[in-house]
Amino acid sequence: TKVQDMSAEVVDSNPYSRLMALQRMGIVDNYERIRDFSVAIVGIGGVGSVAAEMLTRCGIGRLLLYDYDKVELANMNRLFFRPEQVGMTKTDAASQTLSDINPDVVLESFTLNITTVQGFETFMSSLRNKSFRPNKEGSGVDLVLSCVDNYEARMAVNQACNELNQTWMESGVSEDAVSGHIQLLIPGETACFACAPPLVVASGVDERTLKREGVCAASLPTTMGVVAGLLVQNTLKLLLQFGQVSPYLIGFGFNAWLQGYNSLKDFFPTMEMRPNPQCSNAACLERQKEYLLVKPARDAAIIAK
Ligand code: ATP
Ligand code: ZN
């Protein structure tokens, strides 16, 4: 009938009704909690920009964006940025697009290099800022997503998150563009980024020599899109507590040096990585000690359930 057609139209025009259906279908207990969460994304390139768009469309509460680079024409083989944005900073271009898509998301952008002294300080203080949710425990964000393309920047994220006891996820796409990885890192509970050095370090090959001047790494929008999708899916599972990410199932993740997702074979290995008691990162060792103190009580609570 005519009445039924009209009600269908009303439901379809509201993007939130599709998200709220996740609750009706029993996938999540309370979808609206998504508006309370803050996620920081470091690196707004091929993976980070797509992750930012996905979280924006999911209705995340607040996004903090960090990048020092500008949009280039050479980025057009990736998703998200458009040719008319060439020359803008990636943070400005991203804020423009994301606020158009969903004006309800609180966006904060930082055009800086997190590996410089000043940049690292601003990065740390922005993560500590609790103005969005003053009563929140811990830092001012719920999760940090690392979407950078180099070792130094990953080590800077690792340092900040170990110091702040901040859960984060690392991601990456290989130089040949056909494989990638995501990894959940909980300070003290799982291996940190310094606990288990990636392949380039383990094999003694300096990443800087891999990144030779004028030799560009391959990149595919498909692999970057897949990695961004895996990263944000894991983010939603962690924040909204559905599927296989619970506080106990600590070690989701596949690491670059073990070959993570491989698109040539559609191979998706996963594994847990425990912290290294000999880690060179002092803050990691402190978090490991703290975790060992709370672990017996947490294990008992899980067994009791
Ligand atoms: P390519 O290097 O392949 O030409 P890209 O630099 O855009 O492209 P991506 O892998 O698409 O690389 O994205 C990584 C993003 O991380 C880039 O936008 C880059 O500017 C950002 N990034 C890397 N290191 C830092 C850092 N130390 N501080 C802030 N942003 C960083
Ligand atoms: Zn460590």
Tokens 């709370």 -> residue: 294
- CA distances 11 to 4, 6, 14, 20, 23, Å, are 11, 9, 6, 11, 15
CB 262, CB 179: distance < 8 Å: yes
Q: Is the CB of 175 under 6 A from ligand 1?
A: no
Q: Is the CB of 153 under 6 A from ligand 1?
A: yes
Q: Which atom of ligand 1 is closest in space to residue 153's alpha carbon?
A: 27
pLDDT at 248: 35
> Ligand 1 centroid to 147 CA: how many Å?
8
pLDDT exceeds cutoff 80 at 139 = yes
Q: How confident is the model at residue 181 (pLDDT cuts 50, 70, 90)?
A: confident
- Is the pTM higher than 0.95? The answer reads no
> Ligand 2 centroid to 279 CA: how many Å?
4
Q: How confident is the model at residue 215 (pLDDT cuts 50, 70, 90)?
A: low
Query: Which ligand is closest to the CA of 185, given by its number?
Result: 2
- CA distances 295 to 21, 160, 163, 300, Å, are 36, 23, 20, 9
Which tokens belong to 97? 């697009």
> Ligand 1 centroid to 69 CA: how many Å?
7
pLDDT, average across residues 182-189: 91
pLDDT at 251: 35
Lowest mean pLDDT among 50-64, 185-199, 209-223: 209-223
Closest-CA residue, ligand 1 atom 21, reads 43
pLDDT exceeds cutoff 80 at 9 = no
Indicate if 279 belongs to the active site. Answer: no
Q: Is the CB of 161 under 6 A from ligand 1?
A: no
Closest CA to 77 of 262, 266, 225: 225
Query: Which ligand is closest to the CA of 288, given by its number?
Result: 2
pLDDT at 245: 61
Q: Which long-range contacts (CB under 8 A, 24 or more apart) does 80-87 make?
A: 80/49, 80/50, 80/52, 80/53, 81/49
Amino acid at site 283 = A
Contacts with 231 (C-beta within 8 Å, 6 or more apart), sequence order: 47, 51, 145, 147, 169, 171, 182
- Which of 58, 147, 195, 216 is an active site residue? 216
> Ligand 1 centroid to 90 CA: how many Å?
10
pLDDT, average across residues 157-161: 98
Q: Is the CB of 115 under 6 A from ligand 1?
A: yes
Which tokens belong to 183? 């990894």
Query: Which ligand is closest to the CA of 112, given by its number?
Result: 1
CB 225, CB 50: distance < 8 Å: yes
